[in-house]
Amino acid sequence: MLKYLALVLLISVVPHFSYAESISPAEFAKNDIYDTAELSPDGSKLAVRIIVDGKRQLAVFDVNTFETIGGARLGGNNEVGRFFWANDERIVMQIWQSRSWSPQPGYYGELFVVDFDGDNQELIYGYRAGENQVGSKVKRKEYVRGWARIISTLPEDDEHILIESEPWSDGGEKISTVHKLNIYNGRMSREITKAPINYSTFIADRQGDLQFVTGTDESNTQRTFRYVDEEWVEISSQLGDAFQPIAMNNAGTELIFVDDYEQDKEGLFAFNLETGDRRLIYTDENVDITSVSLNSDRSSAYALRLDDGYPTYAIFDGESEEAQIFKALLGTFTGYSLNILTRADKGRLWLLYAYNDIDSGTFYLYDREANKLQSLFSNFTHVPRSAMSESIPISFAARDGYQVSGYITYPVSVPETQNVPLITLVHGGPIARDYWVFDREVQMLAAQGYAVLRVNFRGSSGYGKAHRNAGYKRWGDLIQHDIIDATKYVISQGGIAADKVCIMGASFGGYSAVMSATIEPDLFKCAVATVGVYDLEMMHSEGDIPEALWGKSFVDMAIGSDPELLHAFSPVNNVSKLKAPVLIAHGEEDRRVPFEHAEALRAAMEANGKEYEWFVESTEAHGFYKEESRARYYETVAAFLAKHLQ
């Protein structure tokens, strides 16, 4: 594995070649190789999570020579999940597992540790800690049927981390407890405290002292508590629904957090632990904050990212060295989004990841003292960058005058003077949003000669709570009207063949693909509906959402419980209006949106004599995770679109 990785590293820096011919849809289905990376605290080593043969593994490099010096490869159906350096020698990682009902690996609570060179492997927490199943060097321990979540890496303690341990339950109804966990022998301390709320997330200061916990109750309400004299005191009335803790400052006197308390947009705030006062750091008038950059000792925020069309950055504390470096790096990476992954060796080394709409991304190492920027490795280099199509932000007025935003991508392979077919690609959620990022599905469609429209309709996140909440119980009308109006707006701007328009999406996007095509049957010539919800009444009883503690409240809020409304807004009850043929794609093991939805839509199509095609993967779940499944799906989609749009 390590020899293979070294070879990939050399290949990844080969320059791109010019675009020559159309690219197979299957090429866009290929997995990335480099997933994420982190520097050791002293900056001497770099741990990289890579994907080999479809599985995540860990490789460790010497930063000076970039020779591989270690790593970890978990056997069976185990993969390396999220990881971090507990000290300069030891790496703690989640174990991700694929299961019989889903090839996509998930986290089931286990923590695994290993020295950087692959020695001293230890399963320190989880339900298999009493077995010898992960690797030959793993020692047997007492098992824990629970989920471990890291609260603090305890930077001043090289032997322990602070975790919350949540017992397994069907719907998340059991309460977490807090413990110290030894990263060498897996011994867990006595219970330090117990969470006062379900689905808890604890916040501690740098010393590992607990300060806050936030969670969700059965009514789907977020509640927050402060730790005072070893008791939890609720402070939810002082916070909004979007409260998201970012970090405690180094002095332990302030909590930096994102919130929307008494305002529409999510802004950045600080909470003073001594006085209880909160102060506003920044709020944008158009969009929520996307991410926050903290200085190396986490004592303050020096920058934040906003996504109002193209990504932009607001920089604070402009006199600080880190803010100045970040500003200079943004100038170096003009036209790119920039993520600071880790800093090491007291801020001397910075690990960066830069990407944009036509570049899947490259990892860089910046040496502050030498003022040297080094390209390390890139993803998705098998497709020439010259073959990628740029995405352009748009904004338009919906039929009621409300401003809605989105992105349009015109195919680079087609002359600008030629009108092209259009694919309206609807995101899932609906509480999610599209960004100006590299999107393999967008690029796959554009490479086939299609323009691609993405819409951040009402109901999407990222534009404030009024925009998000406007989609509740409006799945079948207001949201679809925004999608339809966006499609008509783009057509009106020219460059689009108005008689060659298709709609496509997955999950909620699959719902919209069918629903919009029933509302505007003459606008869309075909629809691609993937892992979609087609019977809203079924959402109240089927799938994994109703099983959660907060599931009923969430479904009631999102779609309501009025039988007439659910019936009217369900695609299965509207297919008689369809003129467009539909490609129905689903995974038989889907637990989020059970396969019964696809079967119900197929039955409705047949009962109404409507044209459809059927694409099913028996071992896939909510989406097509395996590279080979995704390739078959892309090829099927491309053939279906070509049949109806060309």
Q: Long-range pairs for 61-64 at CB < 8 Å and ≥24 separation?
A: 63/39, 63/349, 63/365
Position 296 scores a pLDDT of 64
Q: What is the predicted pLDDT for the residue at 401?
A: 97
Residue 253 in domain: no
- β-partners of residue 71 are 59
Which whole number is the average pLDDT over 630-639? 97
pLDDT single digits (tens) 582-617: 999 999 999 999 999 999 999 999 999 999 999 999
Q: Does pLDDT of 13 surpass 60?
A: no
Identify the domain containing residue 479 by its residue range. 390-645
pLDDT confidence of residue 171: 72
Q: Are 74 and 96 in contact (CB under 8 A)?
A: no
Where residue 448 falls among pLDDT bands split at 50, 70, 90?
very high
Choose among 524, 534, 506: nearest CA to 580: 524
Q: Does a structural domain hold residue 243?
A: no
Domain with residue 417: its CATH number is: 3.40.50.1820
Pick from 16, 30, 5: nearest CA to 444: 30
pLDDT at 318 (0 to 100): 65
Structure confidence at residue 297 as a pLDDT band (50, 70, 90): low
pLDDT, tens digit, for every residue of 249-280? 777 788 899 999 999 999 999 999 888 889 99
Q: What average pLDDT does this structure show over 87-103?
A: 88
Burial of 331 (0-12, 13-18, 19+ CB in 10 A): exposed
For 214-218, the CB contacts below 8 A with 24+ separation are 214/243, 214/245, 216/549, 216/550, 217/549, 217/550, 218/549, 218/550, 218/553
Assigned domain for 622 exists? yes
The per-residue pLDDT for 141 is: 52
Number of domains within the chain: 1
The answer on pLDDT for 317 being more than 90 is no
pLDDT score, position 247: 84
Return the pLDDT at 14: 32
Residue-wise pLDDT tens digits, 216-228: 888 888 999 999 9
**Lowest mean pLDDT, pick from 425-439, 528-542, 545-559, 632-646:** 545-559
% of the chain surpassing 90 pLDDT: 74
Q: 176 falls in which pLDDT band (50, 70, 90)? A: very high
Q: What are the tens digits of pLDDT across the range 544-568?
A: 888 888 889 999 999 999 999 999 9
**Structure confidence at residue 352 as a pLDDT band (50, 70, 90):** very high
- The reported pLDDT for the residue numbered 102 is 76
Q: Is residue 348 part of a domain?
A: no
597 occurs within a structural domain? yes
Q: Residue 476 pLDDT more than 60?
A: yes
369 — pLDDT class (breaks 50, 70, 90): very high
360 assigned to some structural domain = no
Q: In what order do the strands lie in the sheet with 289-294?
A: 289-294, 301-308, 310-315
pLDDT number for residue 260:
95
- d(CA 532, CA 525) in angstroms, rounded, equals 19
Question: Which band of pLDDT confidence, cut at 50, 70 and 90, is reported for residue 522?
Answer: very high
- Of the pLDDT bands very low, low, confident and very high (cuts 50, 70, 90), residue 407 is very high
Q: pTM of the full predicted structure?
A: 0.91
Place of tokens 């860089």: 364
Instruction: Give me the pLDDT at residue 561, please.
Output: 93
601-623 CB burial, b ≥16 within 10 A, e <16: bbebbeeeebebeebebeebbbb
Q: For residue 3, is pLDDT > 90?
A: no
Residue 130: both structure tokens together: 């009493």
Place 174 in a pLDDT band, splitting at 50, 70 and 90.
confident
Residue 243: what residue type? F
Average pLDDT over residues 58-76: 94
Report, as an integer, the average pLDDT of 480-503.
97
| Angle at which helices 508-519 and 478-492 cross, to 10° | 70
Report the pLDDT averaged over residues 482-508: 97
Average pLDDT along the chain: 90
Q: Is the pLDDT at 428 greater than 70, yes or no?
A: yes
Q: What's the rounded Cα separation, in Å, for the pair 258 and 272?
A: 14
User: So what's the pLDDT on residue 410?
Assistant: 97
- Banded pLDDT at 425 (limits 50, 70, 90): very high
pLDDT of residue 298: 62
Q: Residue 640 falls within a domain, yes or no?
A: yes
Provide the CB-side half-sphere exposure for 579 (13 A, CA): 9
Q: Would you state the pLDDT for residue 131?
A: 55
Residue 238 is assigned to a structural domain of this protein: no
